[in-house]
Amino acid sequence: MNTITVYLIKGGRKMKKLITITAICLVTATAIASIARYRAEVFSKIKLTSSDIPQGFIIGKIPPAVKKVLKANPWQMDRAAIKRLSRHIYPGGNYNKITGIHMTIMANARHPYGDDIVCYAILYRDEPSALGEIKKLKDFVGYNNDRAILIEKENLAVYLHVDSTSDYHHIQAMAEVIRKRIQ
């Protein structure tokens, strides 16, 4: 072998090492970028408290027929509930991309089994999952913008919904409280 051939062979090995190291760095950077910022602990920080519930409303009671799925109120849903309800919370909701949902149902004090105001705090697996799911949620809220509000930040979405448009101002106030808690 001549000197040029030996140099190319050695240089080729160095190039392979450089390409391999570059690929590893890119994969690692991508993985770090897609790691979820928020974890389930965020629910305890942002969940609605009794002082956040509007006057004339109470924490709703869960009807006995639904207690198999919704075990409590407020409640951080278990995996079975997330799987069963995610597509009902918003169209196309993909339970595989959701790691947690905290739900609070508020009812008019005269009708304790109602669901006049509902707040869902949804935690997605990672930011790429959140992007696709939040787009679906945004579209849904856009069609119901006189009865729904969406707060989003990274892999977290908080979706507030009210049955009656006359109660919309209540979820506006709650949304402000939640936005401050997320900061």
Provide φ and ψ at 129, rounded to 5°.
-65, -40
pTM for the predicted model, two decimal places: 0.78
CB 150 within 8 A of CB 157: yes
6 and 48 in a single domain? The answer is no
Q: Tell me: do 11 and 82 sit in the same domain.
A: no
Q: Which residues are paired to 58 by β-bridges?
A: 107
- Give the separation between CA 103 and CA 99, rounded to whole angstroms: 13
- The answer to whether residues 144 and 159 belong to one domain is yes
Say whether pLDDT at 5 is over 90.
no
User: How big is the chain, counted in residues?
Assistant: 183
| 25-79 per-position pLDDT tens digit | 334 434 444 455 877 778 888 888 889 999 999 999 999 999 999 999 999 999 9
Q: What's the domain count of the chain?
A: 2
Instruction: Give residue for tokens 């910022």.
Output: 37
20 and 95: one domain? no
Same domain? 43 vs 28? no
Q: Containing domain of residue 25, as a range?
A: 1-34
| 30 & 111 share domain | no
